[in-house]
Amino acid sequence: MVVQMAGIVAAQLLLLVGDPGGFELFVLISVLVSISFAPILLSITPTPAFESTKPMNIRELFSTSPLGCVGMFFLGGIFSAQFGMAPVFGTQAGLSLSEISTFVAAFYIGAMVFQFPIGWLSDQMDRRILIVVTSAIGFIAALSAVVVVGVFLIIVASAFLIGGMSNPLYSLLIAYTNDFLEIDDMASASGGLLFLNGLGAISGPLFTGYLMTKMGSEGFFIILATFLGFLTVYGFYRITQRGISDVDTSSYATVLPTASVVAVEIAQELAIEAAEEINEN
């Protein structure tokens, strides 16, 4: 995941070496995608055998982990606004091409820096508290950018904190939900969480575009602050509704919202293996 984030950050610099309005950068991306297939196509390793899993509908998933479901929905809106509308914000705010590249890269740099520290903390404490704290920090960062939207350094710092807090939330919510699941339910639950995340992702650009049309560029940070604020409040509410889980929380696996479904499945396999080791011991 760190390697992936490094690639995404480096990709922002490509905007400075070519004309975004031309075709050269698109050709370069096509070549890079083709090269990325080579290790898979040339591999002689046999594909793993997949076992059948128990189905789990959204209602059952919500009854198992309301915070996981609601959190994934809000994160879908946060990520789609954050990654899809950030360049639009930069353009509307009058940033230069290099400033837009730096601004967008700040989200991913924050995600890369904070993944492991927050992941480590999640194994040492109640994950709900960590979810609330990270959401609250992201909310404050987004709110700060609204207040001082014209200061570039503040905008970049806010993007760094928002990306650094929101991206680990994706892994945290998956890990927290797994704490209440049987091993056979984890794969189906993962599909349900991805579905809810996708539903939320539909709302992000719609709300962000509407607010930016009505309120200007600061609407971008307003919608991020709103979603992160809702997640903070709901997470705090859930803490009052359910006691601390007595499940061993050592199966945290770093997963980013920009990761493929394969990466999510690998994280689920890691969680299952960790749970099986605990049962054997």
Residue ranges for the chain with pLDDT beneath 70: 1, 47-53, 243-281
pLDDT of residue 163: 92
pLDDT of residue 186: 80
Amino acid letter for position 47: T
Q: Where are the alpha helices (DSSP H) in 58-216?
A: 58-64, 66-92, 97-122, 127-147, 152-178, 186-215
pTM of the model: 0.74
What are the sequence ranges of the domains in the chain?
2-41, 58-280
pLDDT of residue 15: 74
pLDDT of residue 164: 92
pLDDT of residue 262: 55
pLDDT of residue 46: 73
Could you give the angle at which helices 152-178 and 97-122 cross, rounded to 10 degrees?
30
SS3 assignment for 102-143: HHHHHHHHHHHHHHHHHHHHHCCCCHHHHHHHHHHHHHHHHH
pLDDT of residue 227: 93
The fold for domain 58-280 equals Growth Hormone; Chain: A; (1.20.1250)
Q: Which residues lie closer than 8 Å to 114 by C-beta, 6 or more apart?
A: 164, 165, 167, 168
